[in-house]
Homo-oligomer: A and B are copies of this chain.
Amino acid sequence: MALESLFAPDRVAVVGATESEGSVGRAVVRNLLDTFDGEVVPVNPNRESVFGLDCLDSVRDADADLVVVVVPPQAAVQVVREAGEAGVRDAVVITAGFGEAGTEGVARERELEAVAAEYEMNLVGPNSLGVVSTPKGLNATFGPRMAEPGNVSFMSQSGAFITAVLDWAADHDIGFNDVVSLGNKAVMDEADFVRAWGDDPETDVVLGYLEAIEDGASFIDTAREVTQETPVVVVKSGRTEAGAHAAASHTGAIAGSEAAYEAGLDQAGVIRADSVEELFDFGGILAGQSPPDTDGVAIVTNAGGPGVMATDAVGDSGLSLASFTSETHAALGEALPDMANVYNPVDVIGDARVDRFRAALDIVLSDPNVGCAVVLSCPTAVLTYEELADAIVEAHEESGVPMATVLMGGEATRGPARTLAAAGIPNYFDPSRAVGALDGLRRYREIRSREYEPPTEFDVDREPAREMLERAAARGQTRLGVEAMGLLDAYGIPTPDSEIVTGREDAVRAAHDIGEEVAMKVVSPDILHKSDIGGVKVGVPAGEAGDAYEDLVTRARNYQPDATLLGVQVQAMVDTDDAVETIVGANRDPQFGPLLLFGLGGIFVEVLEDTTVRVAPVSEPEAAAMLDDIDAAPLLRGARGRPAVDEAAVVETLQRLSQLVTDFPAILELDVNPLVARPEGAEAIDVRLTIDPEKL
């Protein structure tokens, strides 16, 4: 098993063990003594014994495979060092007073990291509630309750939330394999546990409450692989501006942008839950059932109203209402009374006994268009929920079709709900939650069926690109404009013919080289809105390029005498017939690194904010999906009688740009605006970027 001596140690040393009423050291020892199926070794130089066990002076003598640290922060690093020296490879540091506690704490946490690195320790915490693992009864926490056994493993960046969840879960028949309070994540972080639980046959679902992800790229790599076999569902809080602010003040961490998390978690194959309810609704059904083969839902109900509500919920979800085959309709017609509805949602009507429910279920579950089913029932005098639950479980087990139920009512539903839960079938009062849970299964099927491709490695001129950036840096220039179009050329992104000229004659010569008419634009890192000052001319006949040059330079000097003027760009005219202006951009997220952005130009980005984002580098399918994402996508596909643009060319540009910003961390921001997409090909007309010379 993964992280064996963390979750299934034979000997656990508790450093700071004590019997003092109300102390963390006492709580940890008591919890271990209560349920742990191994040896507990108290360590405390100030005590002879703790709860009847001999107390050691030092962790060096404990011969432990896991050490739990509850000593004061000043002593904690030394304890971990001693443990490392003694060959212990797993440690849980419950002690607080590290990164969350001022400059001194931050320094202490760095020391802890260094010690853990030196001894290659799997260190959980500091500032952790501890870890739980039910197979061996390990409760190395100071929480009030042990988890019930189960096949869900759970990590949380809030220790208190774990205490709440364990208490709630015990009341809802939800069990856990491992539970980890991540604490400050000085060493072990979410990616480590996702990896470990992905390898653990006892863990069928990974759930998490996270406020930040430490290393986005490594998390994506790990989770992408793990989620092909094991579903991962996460509440990542700080989704909203207010929430992000609250999370930052809670953990002290600077979280990346919500857009980055949204894209990154999705690219990682993680199912993101928006609420605690959704986290456990998804977790519960994923722990008990396999994803459906198709998206069609069959609804079987004894009451029309709830059937309609369930149908609405299907409409809200990624599932669809199954269209039954004619055989199914015929069989239902045979099995059900005349007043019943044999179309989906199937209404077996109010006088249905359990056998009629069962007959209808068996018929719809064998329909090839049915991927999953919702069974709804209102209380009636002619059936008991106990018998109905038994029949549903049987039908589920015989068919293997995923299911959720809505046996509506109060106390009378508790026993039947437990029967259903034991078979992995969740029961709700609200039809929309039943459908929502099934939609969680569908989401996981979609993830499991993804075929991740590595990003295409285009053959590019990397060194010339580097030299261009280095030259700009050498000039002290951090903001680049059209003078950096060469970067795009170097990465194989098509641009119109152009030249930057610094004199009247040059302008004329360049214009004649380029075409009969040209576009001309002032080149200056200091003048942002060039067209506003008349710094752009289009359709200049080549013969008039000299006058145009003089005019542009004069305007720039008049407008901003102190602006650095790099020259004037002479560019081929761009064919805009049937073209759509798009924007392709990139910036950097502190957790996830380079983020790629795509949208249509003008009002679509500026007013409608119709854009989409991915963590770079992107593969071809990921880049292609960006085009589908935007609301204005139909405009790329020839809406309103226009020809479609060359999507493949846009997708390739996205991938090449992804490669560029991945290759050069020094590029902090980059915008190609516009990238003109035409029925054949796409061309980058203008570019702006910001670089950090120190990262070159």
A408 and B607 contact, CB distance less than 8 A: no
Q: Which of B240, B311, B412 contacts A167 (CB 8 A)?
A: B412
Identify which of residues 158-177 in chain A touch chain B, using a CB-to-CB cut-off of 8 Å: 158, 160-161, 163-165, 167-172
Q: Does A379 reach chain B (CB closer than 8 Å)?
A: yes
The residues of B that contact A381 with a CB separation of less than 8 Å are 22, 27, 144
Evaluate whether A305 and B378 lie within 8 angstroms (CB atoms) in the complex, with A241-B315, A311-B242, A607-B632 already known: no
Determine whether the beta carbon of A409 is less than 8 Å from that of B167: yes
B interface footprint on A316-335 (CB within 8 Å = 1, 0 otherwise):
10001100000000000000
**A369 near B: Cβ within 8 Å?**
no
* A155 → chain B closest CB, angstroms: 12
Complex contact B243–A306 (CB within 8 A): no
**Residue of B304, B433, B606, B640 touching A158 (CB-CB under 8 A):** B304
CB 8 Å contact bits of A199-232 with B (1 = contact, 0 = none):
0000000000101000000000000000000000
Q: A161-B378, A167-B412, A251-B304 are in contact. Are A312 and B432 (CB under 8 A)?
A: no
- Chain B residue numbers with a CB within 8 Å of A631 are 608
Q: By the criterion CB–CB under 8 Å, are B430 and A276 in contact? A: yes
Q: Given contacts A308-B238, A378-B164, A640-B606, are A158 and B303 in contact (CB under 8 A)?
A: yes
Report if A569 contacts B (CB, 8 A): no
Q: Which of B170, B243, B410, B632 contacts A315 (CB 8 A)?
A: B243
| Pairwise interchain contact B172-A430, C-beta atoms closer than 8 A | no
Residue interface bits A345-357, CB-to-B below 8 A is 1, else 0? 1010010000000
Q: Are A239 and B305 in contact (CB under 8 A)?
A: no
Determine whether A275 belongs to the interface, using a CB cutoff of 8 Å to chain B. Answer: yes
- Which residues, 270 to 302 on A, are CB-close (under 8 Å) to B? 274-277, 302
Chain A 423-444 interface mask (CB, 8 Å, partner B; 1/0):
0000001111100000000000
Query: B308 touching A247 by the CB < 8 A rule?
Result: yes
Pick the contact of A607: B235, B412, B635 (CB < 8 A): B635
Contact of A307 among B246, B431, B608 (CB under 8 A): B246
Best-buried of A144, A240, A246, A411 by chain B (most CB within 10 Å): A246
Q: How far is the CB of A451 from chain B (nearest CB, A)?
A: 30
The residue in chain B whose Cβ has the minimal distance to the Cβ of A274 is B432
> Is the C-beta of A619 less than 8 angstroms from some C-beta in chain B?
no
Instruction: Let me know if B161 and A243 touch, CB within 8 A.
Output: no
A306 with B431, Cβ < 8 A, contacts A164-B409, A240-B316 known: no
Complex contacts, A151 vs chain B, CB 8 Å: none
Min C-beta distance of A525 to chain B, whole Å: 23
Say whether B276 contacts A431, CB under 8 Å. yes
A309 at the interface (CB under 8 A from B): yes
Most buried by B among A144, A160, A277, A345: A160
Is A72 part of the contact surface with B, judged by Cβ < 8 Å?
no
Copies in the assembly, this chain: 2
Q: Is the CB of A249 within 8 A of B343?
A: yes
Whether the pair B305, A157 counts as a contact (CB closer than 8 A) is yes
A209 to B309, CA, bound (A): 10
* A495: chain B residues within 8 A (beta carbon): none
CA distance A305 to B245 in the complex (A): 12
Instruction: Count residues of chain A with CB under 8 A from any CB of chain B.
Output: 84
CA distance A28 to B283 in the complex (A): 44
- Give chain B residues whose Cβ lies under 8 Å from the Cβ of A673: none
Query: Which B residue's beta carbon lies closest to that of A351?
Result: B22
Q: Please name all residues of chain B whose beta carbon is closer than 8 Å to the beta carbon of A474 when the two chains form the complex.
A: none
Partner of A249, one of B145, B309, B341, B432: B341
A315 to B238 Cα, complex, angstroms: 9
Is A534 among interface residues, defined by CB-CB distance under 8 A? no
- Of A156, A163, A274, A409, most B-chain CB atoms within 10 Å: A409
Q: Is A250 an interface residue (CB 8 A)?
A: yes
B residues in contact with A320, CB < 8 Å: 242
A640 contact from B245, B379, B603, Cβ within 8 A? B603
Q: Is A237 part of the contact surface with B, judged by Cβ < 8 Å?
A: yes
CB distance from A409 to the nearest CB of B (A): 4
Residue from A237, A303, A430, A431 having most chain B Cβ neighbours under 10 A:
A237
CB of A399, distance to nearest CB on chain B (Å): 23
Say yes or no: is A45 at the interface (Cβ < 8 Å to chain B).
no
Cβ contact of A311, chosen from B168, B240, B304, B321, cutoff 8 A: B240
The residues of B that contact A606 with a CB separation of less than 8 Å are 639-640
CB distance from A425 to the nearest CB of B (A): 18
A560 beta carbon closer than 8 Å to chain B: no
CA distance A403 to B606 in the complex (A): 39
A1-39 vs B, CB cutoff 8 Å, 1 = contact: the mask equals 000000000000000000000100001000000000000
Residues of A248-277 contacting chain B, CB below 8 A: 249-251, 274-277
Residues of chain B with a CB closer than 8 A to A302's CB: 160
**CB <8 Å contact, A309 and B276:** yes
User: Does chain B have a CB within 8 A of A314?
Assistant: yes
Q: Is the CB of B639 within 8 A of A308?
A: no
CB nearest neighbor in B for A277: B430
Given the known interface contacts A242-B312, A243-B312, A381-B22, the answer about A237 and B305 at a Cβ–Cβ threshold of 8 Å is yes
**Cβ A211 vs Cβ B250 within 8 A:** no
A322 to chain B, nearest CB (A): 10
| In the assembled complex, A564 has its CB within 8 A of some CB on chain B | no
Cβ of A315: which chain B residues have Cβ within 8 Å of it?
239-243
Q: What is the CA–CA distance of A365 and B158 in the complex, to the nearest angstrom?
A: 26
Q: How far is the CA of A313 from the CA of B242 in the complex (A)?
A: 9
Q: Identify A410's interface contact among B167, B235, B276, B429, CB under 8 A.
A: B167
Any B CB within 8 A of the CB of A634: yes
A78 in the interface, Cβ–Cβ < 8 Å? no
Please determine whether A430 and B311 come into contact, CB atoms closer than 8 angstroms.
no
User: Besides A240-B316, A245-B311, 18 other CB < 8 A contacts?
Assistant: A22-B381, A145-B379, A158-B303, A158-B306, A160-B306, A160-B350, A161-B305, A164-B409, A164-B429, A167-B379, A168-B410, A237-B305, A237-B308, A242-B312, A247-B308, A274-B316, A274-B432, A603-B632
The 6 closest A-B pairs by CB, nearest first: A240-B315, A158-B305, A171-B410, A160-B303, A164-B408, A243-B312
What are 6 A-B pairs with beta-carbon distances under 8 A? A164-B379, A167-B379, A246-B345, A250-B304, A250-B308, A603-B640
- Residue numbers of A with Cβ under 8 A of B are 22, 27, 144-145, 156-158, 160-161, 163-165, 167-172, 209, 211, 235, 237-243, 245-247, 249-251, 274-277, 302-309, 311-316, 320-321, 341, 343, 345, 347, 350, 378-381, 408-412, 429-433, 602-603, 606-608, 631-632, 634-635, 639-640
